[in-house]
A and B are shown apart, each in its own frame.
Chain A
Amino acid sequence: MATVPQQENHSYLGAPYGLAAWLLTKDHKRIAILYLISITIFFAVGGMFAAGIRLELTTPQGDLWSPDMYNKLFTLHGVVMIFFFLIPSIPAVLGNFMLPIMIGAKDLAFPRINLLSWYIYVVGAIITLAAVFAGGLDTGWTFYTPYSSISSETAVTTAALGVFVTGFSSILTGLNFIVTVHRMRAPGMTWFRLPLFVWAQYATSLVMILGTPVIAITVLLVAAERALHLGIFDPKLGGDPVLFQHLFWFYSHPAVYIMILPGMGVMSELVAAVSRKQVFGYGFVAFSSLAIAILGFLVWGHHLFVSSQSIYAGLVFSIITMLVAVPSAVKTFNWAATMYKGSVTWESPTYWVLGFMGLFTIGGLTGLFLATMGLDIHLTDTYFVVAHFHYIMVGGAIMAYMGGLHFYWPKMTGKMFSEAGAKASAILVFVGFNFTFFPQFLLGYLGMPRRYHAYPAEPIWQVLNVLSSAGASILALGYLLPAFYFTYSLFKGKAAPANPWGATGLEWQVPSPPPTFNFDEDPVVNEPAYHYKPRHEVHVNG
């Protein structure tokens, strides 16, 4: 057992109070709360855009919104959800809060830069919101040229600037995490004693600092072509539109791993804790994160199979994409094996774990359809793709984020939430999600293209779309519910003990909520992660 000396509780939530004390804080935990509030707002905004999309698609005719309005809705849904919710979600909230505590540090390596990254995020978000009000954005979140650079009449330049600025927030967070993991580990916290969440955050950080500069440059080039008519992507000016796709996906495919890798990290923590058992194959799970991070940089061309990219380039991208399936499968089987002969609780975090396992598995396997070149011809740019990436990003990343948020909520706030509410939320999300997105696989195979404001009035197409929209309303309920019981818990919730789930790890040995500097005396670690020791031999499963 790691030794953390007894300490008196002077919670980080305590004095100093006041807006200034929060907005100028250098405490990683308070910054995590600032992020939590901001991304929750953007999650709600992005969700409303999604509601607009689903309402329109209940009928084949484009009768609710104008075509331009619909195009803006799906564009802003993507931009907000990806850049302002998913990418920061687990790293900036759960990572910011838990990572230093998990490795026995008092804070991140650069507390001021950590605060700066939140401000950069806010400035980027404000610029992007300004674009929404200054004409909106209708390029799709992919900003494909030459539509974005010569044809769109919306506020592309402003939105591009917003994305550009926000990128620096990711880069600084990634940098901070990498230095922290290298330099700030407590005595005895060796690399192979790190919680797997830390490994996943480390791998994610590498992707953030290597990939994000490329998207920043790319959107800047779009803005330059738009404003200055530099010939970069528009063939009429001597540019190449496919070049944009290469640059864009060089970041944006790895960005998928920025979104899902932290989720995998959360899953490793949750599976171990709800099973009270060592993560099965720790080394394989840790290295599969790095393998995914590295391979993730070499697969961008699988978005370009029908873009006129060379066949031979396509072959290379296809085979490397297939290889990503291997570490993903390794993780999934290791999580399942972790539960074998565990002591599995049926408290609320388990519900999110089970939901993640189902949805992520479907999301990952449907990626194989798209990596298979011949089949991708038929499926790409259809609702099959939409369904696939929602299974990964919503079914995987958000499910893990919600699971993590429930799991760490008592630690972050010092309050217990309603177990019944949390279970109901997990079930509603799981059911609503499948109703929303499973029909979209079928629509995709039938040929329904993405980003369609209106679609042919074939009965089966409408049936599937109505199912999807109905499911989305259940999904929305599932996401709304936590807003109530979490808020309620802040005021009326039972005080959380230091270790409500009976889990291992330094984070469960400090009080809930933790004191400002996490540890009054430097902790010393002398055992591996997830070292569950029986208190009474008779109660060991197996």
Chain B
Amino acid sequence: MTTLSEAPAETKKPAASGIMAMVRHTQYVLAENPVTAGSFALFVAFLIAAILGPSIVPYDPLASNTMAALQAPSAQHWFGTDQLGRDIFSRVIVATRLDMTIAIASVVLVFILGGFAGIAAGFYGGWTDRIIGRISDTIMAFPLFVLAMGIVAALGNTVTNIVVATAIINFPLYARLARSEANIRREAGFVHAARLSGNSDPRILLCFILPNIMPLMMVQISLTMGYAILNAAGLSFIGLGVRPPTPEWGIMVAEGAAFIVSGEWWIAFFPGVALMLAVFCFNLLGDGLRDIVDPQRRT
């Protein structure tokens, strides 16, 4: 790993101005594209909620107060209260951290697993490609949500297992994308040139091919983030994964669903809106991220 650190050290000087260029470029992308700017703002809001959530909410998300059960949205309880009198606004905000953690952890996991497997498959071809390709095919052969249910049911009802299940069902997406992108670049001139400079194959994969397929992977990351949130909420909704009384959007929708018929719509509505906004935000963010990461767009 000592050799790895040399190359960045050399570019430290341009990197300083590079950061400034990056900031300017980000500003440009956001100014040019109001939708990206909007989703970016939403993302920042979600981040703040995830980090500061428990310390800024007005009520304890777990404290029940039967005196104030099933109250409609009011100045006191913005999003109303549920059947146990818990403040829904506080619960929605606090749940952000858990949902985000699941989404980010699973995406990081699948990015590492799927991304590297895919790059190796595309670069080496042959048996590596065949084995990784067949693993992807096998996963794709199942209805993905059912597969996730099966994995969580078999491994046990924990947050870790939700993360693992979400990562596994997204594996083929990453592996295939990385494979095709690496495959195109396998014979590119700069890869040959890297070999001529004396770089070994693993080094070429890490330092030459991976950075070049990052823009596309970023878009994929953003898209699967939304999907991962939906997946985690879905699992909780059907009773797998996170368990009550933990505040989590999926459970809250599930709990509120029974009250919709009797007119207490707010219990399911607000966590549902949060869920929708999160998915929406990540999908829109994908486009903007690609523009920010791609050096060719930077002039």
> Are A and B subunits of one complex?
no
